[in-house]
Structure 1
Amino acid sequence: MHTTYFTRTAIAAVLLACGSHAALADQMDDIKKAGKVRVAIAIGTPLFSYADANLQPTGSDVDTATELAKDLGVKLEIVAITTAARIPTLQAQRADLVISSLSITEERAKVVDFSTPYSAITIMVGAPKDVKIASYADLAGKRIGLTRATTNDALTTKEAKGAEIMRYEDDATLITSVVTGQVDIFSSTPSNMGEINKRAAGKNFEMKFSQLDSGLGITMNKGEPKLKEWINAWVNTNLHNGKLNTIYKKYHGRDLPANVVKPV
């Protein structure tokens, strides 16, 4: 009996040790071993991530991913996705991180982990200047376009009672739909509205009201403590030294909102 007890105790200790080792193992180790970090980015979000004149990825999120990979000491592999595929791509292990204008929300935080905010996005309702809209109540009975599986989608669905919501797979498709007149009212960002006004200058789109100033997080799967610790330290360092603000200002023409991103 004593021998059996000892054996069981020894086995339990070995299993506990193995479990502890597994818990300490982290995707960070896999990234270092592979010599690359796979970052999912939805290409087609003006100013954050889009294709330049040479069809190369650019934007504030692309620059952020580039700097992160450089400081991590590995190559950057961009995994091009749609906006709706950001979290599913991560959960399917097709990417190590998502850096793609993904707002930090309680609902999303149930299934993925976020870094401290590295950037910010303003969500707004836009429409032509001659359309009278001042609040969600004014959207009742009207058609509004937005990008599927975004904070815009969740907010507008909750607040715009009686509106007909047209959902598009990515920002590029939403923009095209507004420019071609499929929808005149949209929930999106100031940067997307700027692109719309470039392509449909005669319609004079303007912000009707702000829905939210939202912090954006670098996103990873849950249960990755070493990776999360490193990323949070990287974000805080680059907020403090101004690098992330410089990236944001380069593309968005303004500083990061102080009420959303607070440097340490």
Structure 2
Amino acid sequence: MTLFKHVAAIGLAAAMACGAGMGAAKAQTVDEIKSRGTVNIGMLVDFPPFGIVDLNGQPDGYDADVAKLLAQDMGVELNIVPVTGPNRIPYLQSGQVDLLVASLGISPERAEQVDFSQPYAGIEIFVFGDTSVEVADAADLAGKNIGVARASTQDVAVTAIAPEGTNIQRFDDDASAVQALLSGQVPLIGVSNVVIAQIQATAPDRFDEKFSLRQQVQGIAVRKGSEALLAYVDDFVARHKADGSLNTIHEKWLQAPLPDFIAQSGQ
């Protein structure tokens, strides 16, 4: 299961955005979900290993396992709703999903639209590229080409630190940026440690990490005003950090322990 094999799955998720209207929905409660007997959780299916589609066409990955654990904790059935990066917050706001376990990075801008739990996962963004290219810090980007996924966290991070003379090439998604790196179209990209692991498995010894841009923490999102639901989810995350369940899921999908900056957050 590689990044490249699952990019096509975004088409299925995007098609679902054409369904129900996008009017605002009221705040959600735990009791409403429990009385219904089903929780609808929005999840990306194009961001391995957090979100993928398995061989049977079903959502899978780190976020899927966290969603399953949350539904089990609530004592309800799980309905995973595939979402895309652009439509995941509108799906939540319009009531098409109850929560998002969708690799959603916590940011001040997003916190104006949704309420976030304490972090349940996280990634680190790096400048990454050809081993022959010497780049030790932001100043070394001057005069160089670097690719990023358009409007992504890495796009924002690279744009913020790039000196005059840096040529930032923006691609539609991570897969396109990676293909540009592999083909030699760009010598550097801004990319997460998750995607780096995929690249290193595909093309070992050709590329290396240059320097870290930022750490991004990801939260489970609920609709604004859903205080009781948010408190429940915060407690869920804290309990399953403490009992090791989230670490077990992380090791299963990322072959590494839950990062310290996530494991220790919220304590």
Fold shared by both chains (TM-score > 0.5): yes
How far did residue 68 of structure 1 move? 0.8
Which of 108, 111, 123 lines up with 1:109 in the alignment? 111
**Which residue does 2:34 correspond to in 1?**
32
How far did residue 164 of structure 1 move? 3.2
**Which residue does 1:194 correspond to in 2?**
197
Residues 138 and 247 of structure 1, relative CA distance in 2, 3 Å threshold: same
Matched, 1:222 2:246: no
How far did residue 70 of structure 1 move? 1.5
Which of 167, 171, 180 lines up with 2:170 in the alignment? 167
**Which residue does 2:260 correspond to in 1?**
258
Residues 180-235 of structure 1: CA deviation (Å, up to 9, x unaligned): 4443321111221121233344x712111111223211112211111101101111
Amino acid at match of 2:212: S
5 Å-filtered alignment, 1:1-264, equals 26-162=28-164, 163-201=166-204, 204-262=206-264, 264=267
Q: Which has the larger radius of gyration?
A: 1
Q: 2: CA distance between counterparts of 1:27 and 1:181?
A: 51
Q: 1: CA distance between counterparts of 2:89 and 2:170?
A: 18
The RMSD of aligned alpha carbons is: 2.5
How far did residue 77 of structure 1 move? 2.0
SS at match of 1:40: strand
Q: 1: CA distance between counterparts of 2:145 and 2:87?
A: 25
Residues 164 and 32 of structure 1, relative CA distance in 2, 3 Å threshold: farther
Using the size of structure 2 for normalisation, the TM-score is: 0.79
SS at match of 2:46: coil
Range that drifts further, 185-194 or 140-149: 140-149
Aligned pairs, number:
240
Residues 75-103 of structure 1: CA deviation (Å, up to 9, x unaligned): 22222222233323323333222212222
Using the size of structure 1 for normalisation, the TM-score is: 0.80
- The answer on whether the counterparts of 1:102 and 1:217 sit within 8 Å (CA) in structure 2 is yes
- The answer on whether the counterparts of 2:41 and 2:100 sit within 8 Å (CA) in structure 1 is yes
- The answer on whether the counterparts of 2:81 and 2:97 sit within 8 Å (CA) in structure 1 is yes
Residues 88 and 168 of structure 1, relative CA distance in 2, 3 Å threshold: farther
How far did residue 238 of structure 1 move? 0.5
SS at match of 1:188: strand
- The answer on whether the counterparts of 1:178 and 1:196 sit within 8 Å (CA) in structure 2 is no
- The answer on whether the counterparts of 1:122 and 1:212 sit within 8 Å (CA) in structure 2 is yes
Amino acid at match of 1:236: A
Q: 2: CA distance between counterparts of 1:168 and 1:90?
A: 27
- The answer on whether the counterparts of 1:119 and 1:217 sit within 8 Å (CA) in structure 2 is yes
Amino acid at match of 1:193: I
- The answer on whether the counterparts of 1:120 and 1:214 sit within 8 Å (CA) in structure 2 is yes
Structure 1: give runs of 5+ residues left out of the alignment.
1-23
Residues 194 and 257 of structure 1, relative CA distance in 2, 3 Å threshold: closer
Range that drifts further, 88-97 or 230-239: 88-97
- The answer on whether the counterparts of 2:41 and 2:80 sit within 8 Å (CA) in structure 1 is yes
Higher helix share: 1
Residues 148-194 of structure 1: CA deviation (Å, up to 9, x unaligned): 44322222221123433333444344434433444332111122112
